[in-house]
Structure 1
Amino acid sequence: MQVDPRGQRFVAAVTSVVLITVLVLGSGALLAAQAAVFAVATLFGLRYAPYGLVFKVLVRPRLAPPRELEDEAPPRFAQGVGLVFALVGTVGYAAGSTWLGIGATALALGAAFLNAAFGFCLGCEMYLLTRRVRVGGRGGTSPLEKY
């Protein structure tokens, strides 16, 4: 599936606002709700992601068609990375380890903000790096096979 990259920046902006709110309020419950949003996108695909649906229904009809679309796999992987950090943060808040909740939330916020403000998807770059490592770079063989 192909996705509109502007939608990914919109999702990252909404996510940034939610994560800032989590940090201000210290709300593990809100972070758990954000984890659920990440989980939907990761498990079922970006077409079912709640913030993506908002973009699709309310924002995209007001925009010109996108110049190009991108593959769903990298941003879907990025949502999975966000899910991991949100789950760690939720566990931290629930266990009374506020520092863990704040730290995990802050890291997720940093990644979301990079995408929202600058169009740099850290999780997408992680996806591409793991793909290169798995297929062994450009040659198609594992780097370990050389030894």
Structure 2
Amino acid sequence: MSPTQYIDPRGPRFAAGITTVVLAVVLITGWWPLLAAQAVVFAAGAFAGLRYSPYSTLYRAVVAPRLGPPADREDPAPPRFAQGVGFAFAVVGTVGYATGLTVLGIVATGLALLAAFLNAAFGYCLGCEMYPLVRRFVVRSGENTA
């Protein structure tokens, strides 16, 4: 991967801050359409690329120009994977709330909120930490054992 394809690590952390607020509002209100909208945001980052996530666009347009250049850059693959994990939890939470399985909605949303908060507050990305483990497992399971 060329250095120009690496991302400013402050962008995903900014997105995690917005996500934390959105998910907290969902937990407080139980308003599942907001969780569904967050699932769409996660899907954009995971499947189209971080560049196409609404929160990344906001970061690049409004926040990044006010900051100096990043001290370092990071591979976008782990944060994209984390967006995919967030998408899965948001979909499960949305289905839970929408079908009356409120406890499922609360648990899934709470877990996503925990992950987003850890990233926003401490720069610790759970999904990013899972990425190499899952990748190693996928590579090993795809090896020819014959």
Pair in the same fold by TM > 0.5: yes
For residue 119 of structure 2, the aligned residue among 115, 118, 122 is 115
Q: Match of 2:136?
A: 132
- Structure-to-structure mapping, 1:27-38, within 5 angstroms: 27-38=31-42
Whole-angstrom CA distance in 2 between matches of 1:20 and 1:10: 16
Whole-angstrom CA distance in 2 between matches of 1:85 and 1:48: 20
- Structure-to-structure mapping, 1:1-147, within 5 angstroms: 1-135=5-139
Whole-angstrom CA distance in 2 between matches of 1:2 and 1:42: 16
Whole-angstrom CA distance in 2 between matches of 1:20 and 1:57: 25
Whole-angstrom CA distance in 2 between matches of 1:80 and 1:132: 17
Shift of 1:2: 1.1
* SS of equivalent residue, structure 2 residue 27: helix
Whole-angstrom CA distance in 1 between matches of 2:60 and 2:99: 37
Structure 1: segments with no counterpart, 5+ residues: 137-141
Measured on the aligned residues, the alpha-carbon RMSD in Å equals 1.7
TM-score (norm 2): 0.91
Whole-angstrom CA distance in 2 between matches of 1:84 and 1:58: 28
Whole-angstrom CA distance in 2 between matches of 1:133 and 1:23: 33
Q: Which runs of 4+ in 1 moved over 2 A?
A: 131-136
Whole-angstrom CA distance in 2 between matches of 1:135 and 1:101: 32
Between the aligned residues of both structures, percent identity stands at 62
Shift of 1:135: 4.3
